[in-house]
Amino acid sequence: MATQSKSIERVVPARETISRDQMKRQFTNSGIFAILLMVTILWLIPLAWALDTALKPESETTIFPLTWLSSHFTLQAFASTLSTSDLPRWYFIVRVCGHVPGHYPATDRVPLRRVHLQAVL
């Protein structure tokens, strides 16, 4: 009896080919992502600068040359704004008196909606 030797063949998967349309789409998506990332960074820089300036002592906000980080941070600007201005009162007026009469009667489920809207107007 002749023995037949069985050879083990390795099956190598075919290399995935990317079509031209897929490459174009990947390149476009990467470009859009890069543009959005740059816009996000440009949008966040002024916000970071404003927060940094708000946390600096007043003497450091007007010195030249400008610096990003302060030697020490303080909440003095927030404390003086809240204590010397009417900001808390205006916040209450806008938040409670402006939001409640304007928003809730505009929905259909509020009883006496027309009477409430006429009283507000």
Q: What pLDDT sits at residue 72?
A: 80
Dist CA 115 CA 101 (whole Å): 11
Q: pLDDT tens, 107-116? A: 556 566 666 5
Q: What does the block give as tokens for 99?
A: 């939001």
Residue 33 structural domain: 24-74
- The answer to whether residue 13 is domain-embedded is no
- The answer to whether residue 38 is domain-embedded is yes
Mean pLDDT (whole number) for 65-86: 81
Are both 30 and 70 inside the same structural domain?
Answer: yes
Q: What pLDDT sits at residue 32?
A: 92
CA nearest to 87, candidates 78, 76, 96: 78
Q: pLDDT tens, 27-47? A: 788 889 999 999 999 999 999
Q: Which of 5-9, 20-24, 52-56 has the lowest mean pLDDT?
A: 5-9
Are both 32 and 58 inside the same structural domain?
Answer: yes
Are both 32 and 64 inside the same structural domain?
Answer: yes
- The answer to whether residue 15 is domain-embedded is no
- The answer to whether residue 99 is domain-embedded is yes
Q: What pLDDT sits at residue 56?
A: 85
Mean pLDDT (whole number) for 9-37: 79
Q: What does the block give as tokens for 94?
A: 């806008």
